Amino acid sequence: MERVGVVGFGLMGAGIAEVSARAGLDVVVVDADQAALDRGRSRLEASLRRAEAKGKLTAAEGSADDVLARIRPVTELDALADRQLVVEAIVEDEAAKVDLFRTLDKTLTDDQAILASNTSSIPIMKLGVVTQRPEHVLGIHFFNPVPVLKLVELVPSLLTAPETTERSRAFVQDRLGKQAIDCQDRAGFVVNALLIPFILSAIRMYESGFASAEDIDQGLVLGAAHPQGPLALADLIGLDTTKAVAESLYEEFKEPLYAAPPLLQRMVDAGLLGRKSGRGFYTY
12 known member of a binding site: yes
CB count, 10 Å around CB of 87? 27
Read off the DSSP letter of residue 3: E
Element (H, E) at 48: helix 34-53
- Which residues in 157-277 belong to E strands, given as ranges? 179-182
1 known member of a binding site: no
Contact between 71 and 44 (Cβ < 8 Å): yes
209 known member of a binding site: no
Instruction: Return the SS3 of 248.
Output: helix
DSSP 3-state percent helix, strand, coil across the chain (nearest 5) = 50, 15, 35
Catalytic residue among 117, 153, 168, 248: 153
Contact between 40 and 89 (Cβ < 8 Å): no
Rg (CA), the chain: 19
249 known member of a binding site: no
Q: Using CA atoms, how far apart are residues 113 and 131, in angstroms rounded to an integer? A: 12
Catalytic residue among 20, 135, 141, 168: 141
120 is catalytic: yes
153 is catalytic: yes
The DSSP line for 144-161 is SSTTT--EEEEEE-TT--
31 known member of a binding site: yes
CA dist 142 to 151, 189, 196, 231, Å? Answer: 7, 12, 16, 21
10 known member of a binding site: yes
11 known member of a binding site: yes
Catalytic residue among 157, 168, 192, 248: 192
Residues 224, 230, 235, 241: is their CA dihedral positive or negative?
positive
97 known member of a binding site: yes
Catalytic residue among 120, 121, 157, 248: 120
Q: Using CA atoms, how far apart are residues 159 and 138, in angstroms rounded to an integer? A: 9
9 known member of a binding site: yes
13 known member of a binding site: yes
* Residue numbering of the annotated binding site for NAD(+): 8-13, 31, 92, 97, 120, 144, 276
* Residue numbering of the annotated binding site: 8-13, 31, 47, 54, 92, 97, 120, 144, 276
Residues annotated as catalytic are 120, 141, 153, 192
* Residue numbering of the annotated binding site for CoA: 47, 54, 120
